[in-house]
Structure 1
Amino acid sequence: MKPLFLIFCIFLTSCSTTSQKSSELNSASSSKLSIFYTPEDLFQKEFIENTGRLIWIKDSLAWQATDILIDAVDISQIKNGRGWIVHLDKPKAPTVSFYQDIEGNLHVIADVIFDKNFQNPTLQLAPDRNISLQEQSMVTALTTVRASIKEACSPTVNSVVLPMENGWQVYILTSTKEPGVIPVGGHKQYITSADGKDILSDEAYSKSCIKLKAPADSKGVMLTHIVSDFPAPTHVFHNLQTGLTFYVKTERGIWRIHEGIISLLEES
């Protein structure tokens, strides 16, 4: 996993590539292939890049916060847990909050608060604060989606909740503990109502439980993506997570994902 200062850099400033060669390749590809991008293409590409980056940031903060909580308390004693939500609405204090249901009421088990650079996390157990309506809706959306899952590509799944107009995007992510394995299959996006109580739509990013294992000295991986013409946000997520360049073949052509940026290399 990359250091959090790099996460912050990519999130806020969309850092340029670290090598001159990579920059030149990106520039050449962009100028050569920009004619293929319609306004709709550019909107879709930007959405996928930004969503994948947010998934990566929130997932990175969540696993760090989870490790901190596990070190501090016996989580097996926590009953009726309702998962976690990563809050980025306060840039100076991004926070991962853990919840449980006690007699039908939502309570905060703990907050793990990072600084503005996504570093120096501080654990606050049972914080004395109110749960906002937005926070309640996000947890409800997560609970609704998790309750709807009938099967998954891993025994446990991770989750990310992102805001959207009049609703929530809930991403369910396949997890793995296998070293060097990238679980690119089984990820799914759900759209819920604003109150989080109803699932309005869902979209699977694969048709099978695909796993990739890149050789130790590999700098990139290639896969075929058949459910859409563009790469999925989770391909961007895995690119940023692993540092590997992703080459994704769709019906549209071959796409490259490098440092969170999508480029069309070759049209079909």
Structure 2
Amino acid sequence: MRLSCLYAAAAFLLLTPPALAEQQSPPAQVESWTVEKTGRIGQAMWRQDVAAARATDALLAQSGGRPPEGLIGWIVVDEGEGQRVRFLSGSPEQPRAFKDVVVDARLRAGQVTDPADPVLPEDQIARFAARNAAAQNFGPLRCAARYNAVVLDDPDGEGWLVWLLASTTQANIVPMGGHYRYHVSADGRTVERREQLSGSCLDMDKNRATQGGQSVGLVTNVIVAPRPLEVHVFLSLLNSVPIFVLADQKVWAVEGARIRHMDMPAR
């Protein structure tokens, strides 16, 4: 995952765990969705992450390459077919809109603008609170110095889904392990459930996904679910590489937002 200076600064401010630690016990099974729903959510995660990065680049270009003073983070909200990235100032308890960048459906960032009204609607305050609540509820498995956050409406309830995603600045490394999913209340203040999406840390070299100049994909396994998870879709899209997932004695191919089952050969 690429982090620009500002992206890294805000991630460090909100999402840096106190220390790196190894997993001590097997993680619990997590909620697993249909492959269609998993593909949709993974794609939405990727679009939000890319929008935040593109908007960050636009903001840095305007501010001479340095994060503007007073920045405390950002949120991403849908705007038609695109997304509005809202950079925030104030305090975590009382955030205010500081700068806006609209990223269109083709993930192109527009101009940096001042918000017409710095007062955030209640749902946007709750969205930022949900992000912060997750960041303060880190689990035992910490696989990266910095984590990125993605916040989506929970499609099955009134609250939020928040992901803390292990991040790297190394272009060829894919952080396959160490990600978390959170279910957060509608007001953004209470973590109702934390789900650890892997059993261990695992950084994979994207260069190993090619053979003879052709892209063949990365191979991993899942012990917390019977099929691939949304993070595999996210990572496949982010790194433009197929991911083959072994789960419940079956092999699945994750090719962007498309997930398909592959029959295992007989032993």
TM-score band, normalised by shorter chain: 0.7 to 0.9
> Secondary structure, in 3 states, of the residue corresponding to 2:46?
helix
CA distance in 2, matches of 1:246, 1:85: 29
Give the C-alpha shift of residue 169 in structure 1.
Answer: 0.2
Gaps of 5+ in 2: 2-31
Describe the shift of the 1:239–1:116 C-alpha distance in structure 2 as closer, same or farther (beyond 3 A).
Answer: closer
> Secondary structure, in 3 states, of the residue corresponding to 2:34?
helix
Alignment partner of 1:214 is 2:203? no
Alignment partner of 1:91 is 2:86? no
AA of the residue aligned to 2:185:
S
Match of 1:75 in 2: 67
Aligned ranges 1:141-156 → 2 under 5 Å: 141-149=130-138, 152-156=142-146
Describe the shift of the 1:127–1:233 C-alpha distance in structure 2 as closer, same or farther (beyond 3 A).
Answer: same
Does the 8 A contact of 2:244 with 2:251 survive in 1? yes
Gaps of 5+ in 1: 2-40
Describe the shift of the 1:103–1:70 C-alpha distance in structure 2 as closer, same or farther (beyond 3 A).
Answer: same
> Secondary structure, in 3 states, of the residue corresponding to 2:149?
strand
TM-score normalised over the length of structure 1:
0.77
Does the 8 A contact of 2:54 with 2:107 survive in 1? no
Match of 1:138 in 2: 127
Give the C-alpha shift of residue 48 in structure 1.
Answer: 0.8
Does the 8 A contact of 1:171 with 1:188 survive in 2? yes
Aligned length: 225
Identical amino acids, percent of aligned pairs: 25
> Secondary structure, in 3 states, of the residue corresponding to 1:263?
strand
Give the C-alpha shift of residue 127 in structure 1.
Answer: 4.8
CA distance in 1, matches of 2:171, 2:81: 34
Give the C-alpha shift of residue 95 in structure 1.
Answer: 0.6
Describe the shift of the 1:100–1:147 C-alpha distance in structure 2 as closer, same or farther (beyond 3 A).
Answer: farther
Residue 157 (structure 1) aligned to one of 123, 143, 147 = 147
AA of the residue aligned to 1:246:
I
Describe the shift of the 1:235–1:150 C-alpha distance in structure 2 as closer, same or farther (beyond 3 A).
Answer: closer
Does the 8 A contact of 2:42 with 2:233 survive in 1? yes
The structure with the largest helix share of the pair is 1
Does the 8 A contact of 2:252 with 2:262 survive in 1? yes
Q: Deviations over 1:104-160 (max 9, x none)?
A: 521112111123443242111465343111101101111111122266321211111
CA distance in 1, matches of 2:82, 2:233: 25
Match of 1:235 in 2: 232
Q: Deviations over 1:203-247 (max 9, x none)?
A: 111121111113254431111111111111010011111221111
CA distance in 2, matches of 1:157, 1:258: 24
TM-score normalised over the length of structure 2:
0.77
Does the 8 A contact of 1:110 with 1:127 survive in 2? no
CA distance in 1, matches of 2:99, 2:134: 22
Does the 8 A contact of 1:230 with 1:252 survive in 2? no
CA distance in 2, matches of 1:161, 1:264: 28
Match of 1:179 in 2: 171
Point out 4+ residue stretches in structure 1 off by more than 4 angstroms. none
Match of 2:11 in 1: none
CA distance in 1, matches of 2:82, 2:40: 21
Alignment partner of 1:264 is 2:254? no
